[in-house]
Amino acid sequence: MTAAVFAAYLVVVFAIGFGALRRTRTESDFWIAGGRLGSWLGGATLAATHASAGTYIGTVGVIHTVGWEFTWLVLFIPLSYWFMAAVLAPRLARARELTLPAFLERRYGSRRARALGAVVILIATTVYMQAQVIAGGLIAETVFGIPATWGMAIFTVILLAYTVVGGMVAVVWTDLVQLVVMVLGAVAAVPMVFRLLDGPEALFTAVEALRPGVFDFGTLPGILLFTMGLSFLLGGIATPEKLIRVYAIRSPREARRGLFLATIVATGVNLLVFLVALAAIGLFPVLPSGDLAMPLIASVALPPLLGTVLLAAIVAAIMSTVDSLLLVAGSALSHDLLGTLRPASGPRTRMLTARIGTVVVGVAPLLLILSGFGGGDLVQFIVLLFTAIMASAFFVPVVLGVTWRRITGQGALAAMAGGVVTVFLWQAEVFPWPGWGPDLVHPAAPGVLVSFILGIGVSLLTPRSSPEALAPYFGGGEE
């Protein structure tokens, strides 16, 4: 039955992808669905993009490993969406772009900023996609009994097929289907795992008996938890796959409504997943990796029908994130890097380049994993590294770019470069303070701090941006 359900699910996904081909005529259609999304569809695709392997596999894996304290980070989800709705949406809508690097060029009048932004997106997206591809291989191995490498390859091919064909139009409609599946899976799983453990009260008692202190704080240092939350907050605000959806929604008003819907759905799904994570401790107290917990619940603990629904929810969460990442990274390669080098290319050439670029960035994470690079960490920790890179690279150039006239192109370049380099140095434990490092402070905190200092400092020492660069966002260049 599991194979039949998944086959039907994939038929629906492919049908949407090829149906979207007829509605994908221009670059605007391919990258931002022509900027025609309403609040409901825009909110659904935002919520689906938020839910990923980090939610359904990574969060459960971390809670199974370190305890309940990780769940407090869900508080940062509504904060990041509120900031996007209140601050970014109305300002970004004044000058609609196809990509985040294109915004950087327009705001700062700098092709260097656009190229650097594209490079950062390619690097960070490769890191993030590795987590999703690893999760896809894990499900294939745990549930279907096929080698993880084959599972990762099949998973990558499926995603590339409908994303390359239909672009953002296909991604948005498949996201809607995947969001419905994700919600159904989470809603169906919670009462069933409660029944397996004789109800909520018995569940909490069993978990406390099996893992004393699971509900206490202290497994992770408090400053590490806080800076992880900072990574989720600032990275959530600045991730290109979410920002580009603001461009895809018709108006600032509908963007705010869509972001509100995404907040409710994403927070609700996370809370349900937290309860499933507790049940995983009660059902499988000892596992070689916490990331195995959710696939095992779906394939072993639940009845076949409900288990299949939950498995479909996990796969939907992964697919809805990876297809968005494919578009963002593909646009960075073809539209921002190659398009900058060959700006005179015709529309058909640019569309072909877009599809080729999407294939290239989709295959790269798989090849890196197969070569032995990037495996080993819990999925959620790989996701957190991605959000740290995004926050350190883009929070300052994007947020200050639409709220502070004085930030300059040189300041934006310094902020991006300095923030990203700091994240990698901190993650590699290259720093001057003994005892400090990624095990105590998440790289997002020093990365964003350095980005702020460089962005503001360099801007104050360099000439102001031109009135033409400021006009779309401030209505003029005066202070």
Contacts for 72-75 with beta carbons within 8 Å, 24 or more apart?
Answer: 72/225, 72/229, 73/225, 73/228, 73/229, 73/232, 74/267, 74/270, 74/271, 74/274, 75/229
Q: Is 283 exposed, middle or buried (0-12, 13-18, 19+ CB in 10 A)?
A: buried
Number of domains in the chain: 1
Whether 415 has a pLDDT exceeding 60, the answer reads: yes
- What type of residue sits at position 113? A
Q: Indicate whether 291 belongs to any domain.
A: yes
The residue that leads in pLDDT, 477 or 334, is 334
The per-residue DSSP string of 8-19 comes to HHHHHHHHHHHH
Calculate the alpha carbon distances from 459 to 114, 279, 372, 464, 476 in Å. Answer: 17, 51, 41, 8, 18
Q: How far apart are CA 450 and CA 61, in angstroms?
A: 31
Dihedral of CA 346/356/239/249: which sign?
positive
Give the C-alpha separation, 67 to 61, whole Å. 10
Residue 414: pLDDT band (50, 70, 90) is very high
The DSSP string of 37-95 is B-HHHHHHHHHHHH-SHIIIIIIHHHHHHH-GGGGGGGGHHHHHHHHIIIIIHHHHTTS
Which residue from 130, 134, 128, 183 is spatially nearest to 292, judged by alpha carbons? 134
pLDDT of residue 374: 52
pLDDT at 455 over 70: yes
Q: Return the structure tokens found at 148.
A: 């993880």
Task: DSSP for 406-448, please give it.
Answer: T--HHHHHHHHHHHHHHHHHHHTT--SSTT-STTTS-THHHHH
d(CA 20, CA 464): 44
Helix H or strand E segment including 123: helix 111-139
CA distance 140 to 132: 13
CATH number at residue 186: 1.20.1730.10
pLDDT in tens, 209-233: 888 878 887 777 888 888 888 888 8
Residue 196 three-state SS: helix
pLDDT digits (tens, 9 = 90+) for 275-294: 888 888 888 888 877 777 88
Question: CA-CA distance, 212 to 194, in Å (whole number)?
Answer: 20
Q: In this predicted structure, what is the pLDDT of residue 403?
A: 92
CA distance 146 to 167: 30
Of 77-86, 133-142, 223-232, give the lowest mean pLDDT range.
133-142
Q: Measuring CA to CA, which residue among 328, 269, 265, 325 is closest to residue 43?
A: 265
With tokens 């869509």, the residue in question is 258
* pLDDT in the model for residue 215: 82
**pLDDT tens by residue, 306-331:** 777 777 777 777 777 777 777 777 77
According to DSSP, the residues that pair with 37 across neighbouring strands are 249
Residue 25 belongs to a domain? yes
Range of the domain at 226: 2-377
Q: What is the share, in percent, of the chain residues with pLDDT greater than 70?
A: 86
| pTM for this predicted structure | 0.82
Model confidence pLDDT, tens digit, residues 464-475: 988 888 988 886
Residue 66 lies in a domain: yes
In a domain, 176, yes or no: yes
Mean predicted confidence (pLDDT) in 354-372: 76
Residue 478's pLDDT is 39
Q: Band of the pLDDT at 459, cuts 50, 70, 90?
A: very high
pLDDT at 422: 94
**Average pLDDT along the chain:** 80
Reported as a pLDDT band with limits 50, 70 and 90, residue 123 is confident
Domain membership of residue 477 (yes or no) is no
Question: Does position 476 have pLDDT exceeding 60, yes or no?
Answer: no
- Residue 430 burial (10 A CB sphere; 0-12, 13-18, 19+): exposed
> Is a pLDDT exceeding 60 seen at residue 477?
no
Contacts of 209 (CB under 8 A, 6+ apart): none
* Nearest-angstrom CA–CA distance, 177 and 15: 12
pLDDT class of 266 with cuts at 50, 70, 90: confident
Residue 400 lies in a domain: no
Q: Would you say 31 and 102 are in contact if contact means Cβ atoms under 8 Å apart?
A: no
Residue in 325, 171, 177 with CA at minimum distance from that of residue 241: 325
> Does any domain span residue 328?
yes
Question: Is 445 contained in some domain?
Answer: no
